[in-house]
Chains A and B, each alone.
Chain A
């Protein structure tokens, strides 16, 4: 019998929710059935999944999932929630009773009493957690809410710390803090199964990471990328624009063995200016490898190399299980490759060892063309390239997204960066080994973000000024509030 679950998501990165979850489900080969059609405005899904084990596997991966409970009752009013549960006590059919299959909302469905029986064992301890969204209640009020479930066959002792069973009662008052209704709009009751990976956001936080750079990716987005790349234990993963290696931390966390390369010698040797405010010199331990060591996953480190992605380096037959990367957009860091625009240039032998070569512009369209060609040649079949792609929001058209005959775009989610700009996380899956003879050139369609970005620079400078003014005003209010309080 498949079971019904409530999956509760964090209310952020909404555009990534489906992409992350679909990647995890397809990686784990877990079928999902929506009991109610999911909506972006609601932080939950009501679904059928094959088993509790599946739920735990999913929760062990997803960073956007807060938790997952086995659903016993779901209603639009408190009375209905209890009515459903009361009827469930008597539902011995071993099936959900669904009074009207045409209803889109499952608020009258009655769960089988077998679900409730986990708690009728008098040796099993339990507790009930009350969670309310967008409205605060005191401890006393929460206890009163719990008392109302006294009709449930709960025979074991109450134990607040690590009980055998945790029951979960949720009241959802919407997501708009300025418009909180008197009564909850959704209520749920069930058995807690597992928490998602929200904790990783703290554990891998850049604030506490030894080695970071100006363009290090935050922990949450890095985990999303590793999930969309479907990185599993023992996979071989490459980031060809590795920088400080933030994407590879998440990849290694899920068991990937990692290679990285970057054109910036000083970066890989951690000799660039420190990124942290107030830090004068980089510490000796600062390195990509040091970061993995910090998280206890140094065994997943293969190597990093100083190299220019526009030139080939890996042997033809090498195949990766995933390529995850954040190429340079040319705004906070230059987009460059080795080159010189002078004719018949030579360099004497003794210059070679510590020569830092000069560079020429390596535009975004060119970078993406190289990246897709590289992925088509060096990915294992069915595996994925996950990469960021910057856009000017107003000018974005889906047709601009780079394409390749061997690489199928499977998801495309937007992260807004400013009023004018965004970046999109593109996930491609390799679907064919039939690599075109002449490298496929996507450059014609790809617009050059850097040029566009600087073209709109005038506007954005004005915008920045306005934002600064707003921030100042806000902090003035904050200071005033603090003074008021201390009076």
Chain B
């Protein structure tokens, strides 16, 4: 699971959970794969992100090195910044671990890079 995905995910499917965002990350295995750099795409996606959530998520798994905590106004023109954003958004992946609901503590396991957001039949009752 990439951090771009983490930035969009909630656990509001759970009964009684109001926002369920952001989910905490417990990672036991992280990998970094190379992904083609597409500055237009990164510039386009940044306004859609919750940057603080991204930064904290990256930091919590030890990948916030050199990543600014806030976005500067003309970020599209800063290719060094775009490359760093590209890396944390698309190249760093949680292979194994858990996502944790901030309100209920419910864990969603990630295995082989795929998060499992299914609830049990008891939880949807």
Interface residues of A, Cβ cutoff 8 Å to B:
233-234, 236, 257, 259, 261, 263, 265, 268-269, 298-299, 302-308, 311-315, 317-319, 338-340, 343-347, 351-353, 355, 357-359
Known: A234-B40, A307-B118. 4 other contacts (CB 8 A): A268-B114, A306-B118, A313-B10, A345-B122
- Complex interface: chain B residues within 8 A of A305 (CB): 1, 5, 9, 114-117
A303 in contact with B1 (CB, 8 Å): yes
B9 in contact with A313 (CB, 8 Å): yes
B12 in contact with A312 (CB, 8 Å): yes
- Complex interface: chain B residues within 8 A of A269 (CB): 111-112, 114
A358 in contact with B118 (CB, 8 Å): no
Q: Is B87 an interface residue (CB 8 A)?
A: no
The CA-CA distance from A315 to B8 in the complex, in Å, is 5
A314 in contact with B13 (CB, 8 Å): no
Closest chain B residue to A344, Cβ basis: B125
- Complex interface: chain A residues within 8 A of B8 (CB): 314-315, 318
Given known A311-B13, A313-B10, A315-B21, contact A234–B114 (CB-CB < 8 A): no
- Complex interface: chain B residues within 8 A of A346 (CB): 122
The CA-CA distance from A344 to B8 in the complex, in Å, is 32
12 contacts between A and B (CB under 8 A): A234-B41, A257-B41, A263-B118, A269-B112, A303-B4, A306-B118, A307-B116, A312-B10, A313-B13, A318-B8, A345-B125, A347-B122
The CA-CA distance from A233 to B48 in the complex, in Å, is 17
The CA-CA distance from A359 to B119 in the complex, in Å, is 11
B120 in contact with A338 (CB, 8 Å): yes
Q: Is B102 an interface residue (CB 8 A)?
A: no
- Complex interface: chain B residues within 8 A of A357 (CB): 118-121
A311 in contact with B5 (CB, 8 Å): no
The CA-CA distance from A22 to B12 in the complex, in Å, is 39
- Complex interface: chain B residues within 8 A of A344 (CB): 125
A355 in contact with B41 (CB, 8 Å): no
For the complex of A and B, list the 3 residue pairs with the smallest distance between their C-beta atoms, beginning with the closest: A340-B121, A311-B13, A299-B36
Give chain A's interface secondary structure class: loop
The CA-CA distance from A317 to B121 in the complex, in Å, is 28
> Which residues of B from 25 to 55 have beta carbons under 8 Å from A?
35-36, 38, 40-41, 44-45, 48
The CA-CA distance from A311 to B121 in the complex, in Å, is 12
The CA-CA distance from A351 to B45 in the complex, in Å, is 38
B118 in contact with A315 (CB, 8 Å): no
The CA-CA distance from A269 to B44 in the complex, in Å, is 31
The CA-CA distance from A259 to B107 in the complex, in Å, is 21
Closest chain B residue to A337, Cβ basis: B124
The CA-CA distance from A299 to B86 in the complex, in Å, is 11
Given known A311-B13, A314-B9, A314-B10, contact A340–B122 (CB-CB < 8 A): yes
Q: Mark B86-125, 1 if CB is under 8 A from A, else 0.
A: 0000100000000000000001010111111111111011
B9 in contact with A315 (CB, 8 Å): yes
CB < 8 Å neighbour of A259 from B5, B35, B45, B121: B5
A306 in contact with B9 (CB, 8 Å): no
In the complex, which of the residues A299, A340, A351 has the most CB atoms of chain B within 10 Å of its own CB atom? A299
The CA-CA distance from A346 to B109 in the complex, in Å, is 20
- Complex interface: chain A residues within 8 A of B10 (CB): 312-315
In the complex, which of the residues A265, A307, A340 has the most CB atoms of chain B within 10 Å of its own CB atom? A307
CB distance from A465 to the nearest CB of B (A): 40
- Complex interface: chain A residues within 8 A of B5 (CB): 259, 302-303, 305
Given known A234-B41, A312-B13, A313-B10, contact A302–B122 (CB-CB < 8 A): no
Closest chain B residue to A289, Cβ basis: B113
- Complex interface: chain A residues within 8 A of B117 (CB): 261, 305-308, 313
Given known A305-B5, A306-B115, contact A345–B12 (CB-CB < 8 A): no
B120 in contact with A347 (CB, 8 Å): yes
Closest chain B residue to A265, Cβ basis: B116
The CA-CA distance from A269 to B111 in the complex, in Å, is 9
- Complex interface: chain A residues within 8 A of B125 (CB): 339-340, 343-345
> Which residues of B from 1 to 23 have beta carbons under 8 Å from A?
1-2, 4-5, 8-10, 12-13, 21
